[in-house]
Amino acid sequence: MRLASLVLIVLLTHTTAAQAFVDPSGFKSLAIGDRAPDFELPGVDDKQYSLKSFADSRLLLIVFTCNHCPTAQAYEARIMKLHADYKDRGVALVAISPNDDLAVRLDELGYTDVGDSLEDMKLRAKERKFAFPYLYDGETQKTSLAYGVVATPQVFLFDHERKLRYVGRIDDSDVKLVTSHDTRNALDALLAGKPVPIEKTRTFGCSTKWAEKRAEAQASLEKWDQEPVELRTLDEAALAKLVKNDTEKLLLINVWASWCGPCITELPEFVTINRMYRRRNFQLVTITLDDLEQKDAALKILREKHVAGTNYISTLPSRDRFVDVLDKDWDGPVPYTLLIAPGGKVIYRQGNQIKPLEVRRAIVDVLGRTYANRPPK
């Protein structure tokens, strides 16, 4: 009896926690036949959009998606293809990002080069050449709450009266063979004047990042700021082994010094990059060219900037020798940054300060943006 009661309590607790997680205040799931809630949202083209913006279209396909989610990124090309295939058939496609970008943890950005802010959405839309409206709901999330968005990507298809006729996934697989083209089936049925064969499907993807998660995201930063920061010596043999990168990890090396102002200025960018990608096959290494007598001063800076990567101070006899071993294409000034693939091929090098977006794009171009790129366990 006591065991049964305990199991019941655990189940009730789990259910309540799950409901609290997926159902923030104001959340409402749309039912088939419900009318589309109106909205007033900014787009990446700096225009404002509402339901009236699409009044001339026979059908309205709203895709809630985002920048950072690996599943959403896997569907970007398919969303673009949906727009291209149906735009001349009376279907308006609009994408909306539901996420509060301040509620996304840095370690949730491991498959992307940009976050979920409106400015980052503009970067993604430009890079991918989105030809459909891409709107931002992260500031208030009122639209996402009204539609009941549970994950990205999630599709809502409305008929000419703007009544919901299909809700769910785009198709049945993000990275494997697709066997059920659910959104296309629904579109084709409505355009042919027929009932939608399957009106509702499960949605698989990344959970909506509601504003309630801001505290968690902030707490993660505070936790990471407490990680220990160490500075070890690096001799010539160790440096030669490092640049060969006989590992499975993508290696980002930043050469800096405590007497170099630009070096210190950009250290926080490397901290952010490390926190984004370190859960994947990635490693950040910093190497200071300070003299050994300045080790404590260099370590003090690393700790102030929370650089919890692998940090070295060179013990090579001269800077010329250091340059010869690290990268003979380098002229010698710091800061200097290398991105080295497994096997030792340099795929990115930058003298002076980095452009963070360039570095992040170079990283995800190697690591991959979708779950198809996860290494086998």
Give the pLDDT mean for 152-179: 97
pLDDT at 164 over 50: yes
Phi, psi dihedrals of residue 352, rounded to the nearest 5°: 65, -165
On whether both 21 and 138 belong to a single domain, the answer is: yes
On whether both 128 and 228 belong to a single domain, the answer is: no
Residue 339: give the domain boundaries.
221-364
- Per-residue pLDDT at 373: 77
DSSP secondary structure, 339-370, as one string: EE-TTS-EEEEEESS--HHHHHHHHHHHH-SS
Percent of the chain residues topping a pLDDT of 70? 93
- Per-residue pLDDT at 23: 77
On whether both 128 and 79 belong to a single domain, the answer is: yes
Residue 81 CB neighbour total at 10 angstroms: 12
Of 118, 120, 150, 148, nearest to 48 by C-alpha is 118
Assess whether the previous peptide bond of 335 is cis (omega < 30° from 0). Answer: yes
pLDDT band at 11 (very low <50, low <70, confident <90, very high): very low
6, part of any domain: no
Instruction: Report the mean per-residue pLDDT for the chain.
Output: 94
| CATH number of the domain encompassing residue 187 | 3.40.30.10
Give the pLDDT mean for 45-51: 98
The rounded distance, in Å, linking the Cα atoms of 154 and 148 is 10
pLDDT digits (tens, 9 = 90+) for 324-339: 999 999 999 999 999 9
Percent of the chain residues topping a pLDDT of 90? 92
On whether both 65 and 173 belong to a single domain, the answer is: yes
Residue 361 CB neighbour total at 10 angstroms: 16
Residue 306 CB neighbour total at 10 angstroms: 17
Give the pLDDT mean for 236-259: 98
Of 319, 278, 290, 273, nearest to 231 by C-alpha is 290
- Per-residue pLDDT at 377: 59
Total number of domains in the chain = 2
Q: Among 213, 248, 281, where does a domain finish?
A: 213
* Helices 182-191 and 76-86, packing angle to 10 deg: 10
Q: Check if the beta carbon of residue 345 is closer than 8 Å to that of residue 364.
A: no
pLDDT band at 67 (very low <50, low <70, confident <90, very high): very high
377, part of any domain: no
- Per-residue pLDDT at 376: 61
pLDDT digits (tens, 9 = 90+) for 91-108: 999 999 999 999 999 999
Predicted structure pTM score: 0.92
pLDDT at 182 over 50: yes
pLDDT digits (tens, 9 = 90+) for 343-356: 999 999 999 999 99
On whether both 129 and 254 belong to a single domain, the answer is: no
pLDDT at 225 over 60: yes
- Per-residue pLDDT at 208: 98
309, part of any domain: yes
Q: Among 213, 247, 268, where does a domain finish?
A: 213
pLDDT at 16 over 60: no
- Per-residue pLDDT at 21: 52
Give the pLDDT mean for 286-310: 98
* Helices 261-277 and 295-304, packing angle to 10 deg: 50
Q: Among 159, 190, 213, where does a domain finish?
A: 213
Give the pLDDT mean for 108-129: 98
Give the pLDDT mean for 224-235: 98
372, part of any domain: no
